[in-house]
Amino acid sequence: MQTITIKPKKEIKISVEAENITPDKLAGKTEQEIQSMEAWVGNQKTTLGELFSIRVEGSAPAAETKIVMEGDFARVKRIGEGMTSGLLIINGNVDMHLGNKMSGGNITVKGNVDSWAGREMKGGELIIEGNAGYYLGAGYRGESCGMRGGKITVLGNALDFVGEHMCGGEIIVKGNTGILPGLSNNGGKIVIEGNTSRPGSEMSKGTIIVNGTVDEMMPVFKLEGNEDLGGVLYKKYTGDVISNGKGLLYVR
């Protein structure tokens, strides 16, 4: 087991890009090695050591590596990018693109995350105890596929475009979401415990379950009747009818 503890040295105003902070990249490295790894502040190339105090205990492969981040990372982007295994625990807020393209391992955030968390995620688990920003588990501009696998859980709320272009995997939002969750869903599962608006537009596959209220329904769904899901009765819709979509939308 290797544990790496990372704390900001000072308040960060200009966004830091720190895609090196993943178990894959830090596993087996010493404090000194990690400190000398690249990070960017705006247009300035710097090192992780300049920005963060880093403590390393033990040495292990990525799968047995735990990164613990203490403090405010609200201006640190791309943490956990592409991670394949290991643990990443953030006791604070984080900036955009958390866990983008991750395919394994586990990220837990105690605070809030900014937009594009779990973008193009392929596997692993992302747990956000606070709120999420826009485009949770979505895709990159122009790509036809967003999240493909893995699981994202948000205990708070998420903003617009949750799971845009999702092709697989699962997103659970315990609170409310903004507009257009599951837009162009092509095979993912989204569960919204709270309220939302305009869910499931252009869905071709996948499932969206809304347990709260739907503020505005898209006029693209066919009401199929009621269905019992685990003891709860839902209105079951299929769509999007425009493209003969096979998506399922359940509204309580």
Partner 1 sequence: MTLNAILITGRTINQGATIENKTSLDYQEATAYCELNPKDIGILGISPGSCVSVTTDHGDVVVKLKENKGNPDGLAFIPMGPWANAVVNPDTRGCGMPGFKGIPSRIEPTEKKVLSMKELIARYK
Partner 2 sequence: MELIIKNGTVYDPVKGINGDKTDISIRDGKIVDKVSGKATVIDAAGRLVMAGGVDAHSHIAGAKVNVGRIMRPEDTRSGIKPRTKITRPFTGYTVPNVYAMGYRYAQMGYTTVFEAAQAIMKARHTHEELEEIPIIDKGALTLFGSNWPTMDFVREKDMDKLAAYVAWGLLASRGFGVKCVNPGGGEMWGFGKNVNGLDDVVPNFDVTPKEIIVSLMKANEMLGLPHSLHLHCNNLGKPGNYKTTIASMELANQVKASKDRQVMHVTHLTFNSWGGTNWGDFESKADEVANYLNNNDNVTGDMGQLIWGSATTMTADGPVQYANAKLLHAKWGNGDVELEDASGVVPIYYVKQISVHAIMWAIGLELALLTKDPYKMLLTTDHPNGGPFVNYPEVIALLMSNKKRQEEIKTLHEAVHARTKIPEIERELDFGEIAIMTRAGTAKVLGLLDTKGHLGVGADADISIYDIKPDQIDPSVEHAKIKSAFSSAAYVIKGGQVVVKDGQITATPPGRTYWVDASVPRQHTNEMMKDIVKKFKNYYSMQLANYMVQDEYVTHAQVVKAGAIPVEVN
Partner 3 sequence: MTVITDALCPFCGCLCDDLTIVVEDNKITDVKQACKLGTAKIMGHHRIKAPMMRKDKNSEFTEVSYEEAINEAAKILSNSKRPLLYGWASSVCEAHKKGILLAEELGAIIDNTATVCHAPSTLAVHEKGLPSATLGQIKNRADVIVFWGSNPVHAHPRHMGRYSVFAKGLFTEKGRKGRKVIVVDVRKTETANMADEFVQVQQGSDYLVVSALRSILSGHADVVPDTVGGVPKEQLIKIVEVLKTAKFVSIFFGMGLTQSKSMYKNIDNAISLTFELNSFTKCVITPMRGHYNVTGFGQVCAWETGYATAVDFARGAPYYNPGETAANDVLLRKETDAAMIIAGDAGAHFPADSVRHLARIPVVQIDPYWNPTTEVSNVVIPVAICGVEVAGTAYRMDGVSLRMRKMVEPAHPPDTEILEKITERVRELRGE
Cβ-contact 209, 247 below 8 angstroms: no
- Only segment of 5-13, 132-140, 149-157, 239-247 that touches partner 1 (CB under 8 A): 132-140
Choice between 115 and 176, CB closer to partner 1: 115
Q: Are 53 and 92 in contact (CB under 8 A)?
A: no
Rg of the chain taking only CA atoms, in angstroms: 19
Residue 115 sits in the site that holds partner 1 (CB under 8 A): yes
What is the total count of residues that contact partner 1 (CB under 8 A)?
Answer: 9
State in angstroms the smallest separation of the CB of 27 from partner 3.
Answer: 25
Q: How far apart are CA 140 and CA 153, in angstroms?
A: 20
Applying CB under 8 A, the span of 7-15, 139-147, 209-217, 226-234 interacting with partner 2 comes to: 139-147
Q: Does 57 bind partner 2 (CB under 8 A)?
A: no
Beta-carbon count within 10 A of 36 CB: 13
Residue 231 interacting with partner 2 (CB under 8 A) = no
146 binds partner 1, rule: CB under 8 A? no
At its nearest, how many Å lie between partner 3 and the CB of residue 81? 13
For the bound state, the minimum distance from the C-beta of residue 96 to partner 1, rounded and expressed in Å, comes to: 9
Q: Which is nearer to partner 2, 120 or 170 (CB)?
A: 120
Q: What is the C-alpha separation between 173 and 103, in angstroms, rounded?
A: 20
What is the greatest pairwise CA distance in the chain?
62
> From the list 161, 234, 237, 250, which residue makes contact with partner 1 (rule: CB under 8 A)?
161
CB atoms within 10 A of CB 216: 10
Q: Which stretch binds partner 2 (CB under 8 A): 72-80, 85-93, 135-143, 213-221?
A: 135-143
Burial status of residue 109 (CB atoms within 10 A of its CB: 0-12, 13-18, 19 or more): buried
Task: Give 110's contacts (C-beta < 8 A, 6+ positions apart).
Answer: 89, 90, 91, 92, 129, 130
State yes or no: residue 143 binds partner 2 (CB under 8 A): yes
The C-alpha atoms of residue 239 and residue 222 are separated, in whole angstroms, by: 6
Which is closer to partner 3, CB of 174 or CB of 235? 235
Q: Footprint of partner 1 on this chain (CB under 8 A)?
A: 115-116, 133-135, 159-161, 178
Q: Footprint of partner 2 on this chain (CB under 8 A)?
A: 140-143, 243
